[in-house]
Structure 1
Amino acid sequence: MTAVQHEARAPEAEETVSVLLYSDDSTTRELVLTGVGRRASIDSPRILWQETATPAAVVDYVENGRYDLVILDGESAKFGGMGLCRSLKTEIYQCPPVLLLIARPQDAWLASWSEADAVVSMPLDPITLQETVADLVRRR
């Protein structure tokens, strides 16, 4: 009788991506979190979310952290995501891709000025949001 050997395998680490989400409105942040979920698509990695409500925290997180995607609310009351996006893109070396949430499709030209990598307009359609996030994550 021969013994059967089983190789001990370490469980494979699940691939993840880090996403930074900025809005001064907790409702907007919740809409994004529930709209995208844990994964943007079946073939994309699990998302590790970091939420913030202040522009200063966004700058600090992007300068000192490692994010695969940044989602900014272009309609934040105190400091809109469009100006913040422009600052990140021009001042931070190897800035991660930025998805900008805009109020209306007609605001896309402003998003272009801000150097956003993609835009999604309000009201947020979960399918469009998921597809856009999945596309940006795949490009990384």
Structure 2
Amino acid sequence: MRILLVEDDAQLGEALAEALIDQRYVVDIAKDGERGWQQATTLPYDLVLLDVTLPKLDGMSLCQRLRTQGYQLPLMMLTARDTSADKIMGLDAGADDYVVKPFDLPELMARVRALLRRGNAIASPLLQWGKLRLNPSTFEVTYDDRLLRLTPKEFSLLELLLCNGRRVLSRAMMIEHVWSLADPPEEDTVKAHIKGLRHKLRLAGAPEDLVETVHGLGYRLKQVE
């Protein structure tokens, strides 16, 4: 899951991004409303966390612009404005949730999960490919009921592969979905993570080529018979 955090307070933004990354989300930070608009309309985000008081373009205006242009991704406002009128204004602008600063971090994370579930309501909470199962809510992966201990990046890559099935994913596409804009790796890094993922799948009893290499193009899951 990829989240865009639009926040001009550098200290708060970094702390919140770190907490989200610990929950295995990919997080990009925009420090003003115009930059937030550019990123929200360029990359496929699953959720936008949006401060209201922003340079260049305020959060209310950014929210309205996104909704007016047809963007329906879940959007949560984070603000110190705590009056009833402010909340009504934010929700009427198109926000799905309105959280007042300072906020309780565990509650905020629960609200993030709730919005992501709502935004992905048509999808099954359990991803499955033959004997392979991945639960995005508990971060558990099993093969034939054997639990796999995956790193956060291995988990995210496997989740991406499961969501796409037989579609071939290039390394560049994997980087775009699994790494933030602030720390894009070299494509060889993707190769190393795929190698580690295959090793752990093999130890759990999966076929060696469950994650197939399509030479010159990328990776996909092997057809289940």
Q: 1:26 aligns with which of 10, 13, 33?
A: 10
Residues 122 and 62 (structure 1 numbering): CA distance in 2 closer, same or farther, change over 3 Å? same
1:59 match: 37
Q: Does 1:102 align with 2:86?
A: no
Larger Rg: 2
Compare 73-82 and 97-106 and name the one that shifted more.
73-82
Cα offsets for 1:12-56 (capped at 9, x unmatched) = xxxxx00000112212312422454522xxxxxx20001111222
| Identity across the alignment (%) | 29
Separation in 2, partners of 1:34, 1:104: 24
Separation in 1, partners of 2:4, 2:30: 8
Cα offsets for 1:72-122 (capped at 9, x unmatched) = 10122543212211111112x333111101213312112122110111101
Q: 1:73 aligns with which of 43, 51, 72?
A: 51
Structure 2 residues without counterparts, runs of 5 or longer = 120-225
Q: Does 1:118 align with 2:72?
A: no
Q: 1:49 aligns with which of 27, 40, 45?
A: 27
- Taking structure 1 as the reference length, the TM-score comes to 0.74
Residues 104 and 57 (structure 1 numbering): CA distance in 2 closer, same or farther, change over 3 Å? closer
Separation in 2, partners of 1:129, 1:75: 19
Alignment RMSD (CA, Å): 1.7
- Taking structure 2 as the reference length, the TM-score comes to 0.48
Q: Does 1:85 align with 2:66?
A: no
Separation in 2, partners of 1:124, 1:35: 13
| Matched pairs, number | 117
